[in-house]
Amino acid sequence: MMDYLNYIGGKWTESKSRETYKHYNPANPSECFGTTVVATVEEVDSAVIHAKQAFLQWKQLSPVTRGEFLRKAADLLEQQTEEIAKIATKEMGKRFVEMKGEVARAAMILRYFAQEGMRKMGELLPSVNPQNTLYSLRVPLGVVSVITPWNFPVAIPIWKIAPALVYGNTVVWKPAQESGITAVKIAEVFERAGLPEGVLNLVMGSGATVGNALVEHPNTAAVTFTGSNQVGREIASKAVAQNKKFQLELGGKNPAVVLADADLDLAAKLTIEGAMKQTGQRCTATSRVYVEQSIYDTFVDKLLTEVKQIKVGDGLDETVNMGPVASKNQFDTVSSYIAKGVEEGAQLLFGGQCLEGPTFNGGYFIEPTIFGQVTNEMTIAREEIFGPVLAVVKVADYSEALAKANDTMYGLSASLFTTSLDKAFHFIENSEVGMVQINGETGGAEPQAPFGGMKESSSGTREQGQAAVEFFTAYKTVSITSSL
């Protein structure tokens, strides 16, 4: 069994602690297929120092040249699609076909930000003094801490690392421990693309030790984080205390609203896809659906027809529609929410069982689960579950649906299914989320579009698209006065 190492200053390094983290397949927990080496706080410090030294040369390169490294990385990533997808499937259970799509998406993100290196990075401004030349520049921040989750082990790191690099920053990256081997494979891609030593560093370990050391390090200029609200608040507090930039993408409790005039077959199909795709382990997953009472029973029947077509099993089996949850911890958490739904009086319409037997190898498999007769006061309608659980709520009309959809601390994504143009535009304007879908599922994002939420789903700055430049750079204003 192979040990996968940290990548610091352009070298693969053994940890001085000799501590390792074992990786087990969530579809077959008896299978340990590798270990990652846990970094020490001293090694985090070394990674930051290397990144700070590399920054002095990296920022001097043309952004067009920096973009070429990303383009090469995209080509290499595509060449390793099957290998990386298979490793990620074994690490966190996502279906192989979904992981191949995620790797392809990551390559697209790299190519997008490679082109961003050709975009203007400032502007000429008018001055009151005709002898002044006044202009602004966007300049890199320095060393950026990148802290990423396990649920999108390729795409999320890439959509943080790519803009950080093309805009001239250097990076120290801490992935979730559960996806450490996938992270090593991504770092190898950048190494093979010829990225200079110290520009990208990989340190693995727990958030409490390695992640905290990165956030608190005096030589990191910014931190970008995707994960839980609790950890996000802690990061924000520490970053503010040090006057460093922070970017947080946090939880979601994403609603879909289905009106009586909607295409109900399409709405049912996309609601189930939004809720159950990637085993519900997406911050943009559909978690609540508000249905007008006149079509409630009909729509529930259509949801049940769709969910019954889902086949649960090992994500490496391409005939399977849904894999396991990522870990024993996730399994216990999702199971507890299902039990809470039953306890609080929701109607269990489908699923809710843990799947056992020789077919499932003791893996962390949970049936796709649908609750009906849910109220907004129930726990399953208020808290992020991060599993294949959908809460169906009956409402009188569109106004009640909108009010209840907005009645949450979260504000990431929302969908409306309707044929009414008036209601579609009203929903776009009044839904308290960062991303709105009309007749589409709540998940999904494209590299050229800003990604992020409102309320407690985000710290405000957006990822991806041209909006990414707002976080990864700072303005510098220049005034040159002529003496002639």
> In one letter, which amino acid is 198?
G
459's tokens? 């710290």
In DSSP terms, 4 is beta-bridged to 36
If one counts every other C-beta atom within 10 angstroms of the C-beta of residue 383, the result is: 16
For residue 211, how far is the Cα from the chain centroid? 17
Distance, CA of 293 to CA of 291 (rounded, Å):
6
In DSSP terms, 372 is beta-bridged to 347
Q: Active site residue: 116, 216, 249, 456, which one? A: 249
Comparing CA positions, the residue from 451, 414, 453 lying closest to residue 434 is: 453
Residue 432 bears catalytic tag: no
Helix (H) or strand (E) holding 300: helix 296-307
Distance, CA of 80 to CA of 76 (rounded, Å):
7
Q: Output the DSSP codes for 235-286.
A: HHHHHHHTT-EEEEE----EEEEE-TTS-HHHHHHHHHHHHHGGGG-STT-E
Distance, CA of 58 to CA of 60 (rounded, Å):
5
Q: List, by residue number, the catalytic residues.
A: 249
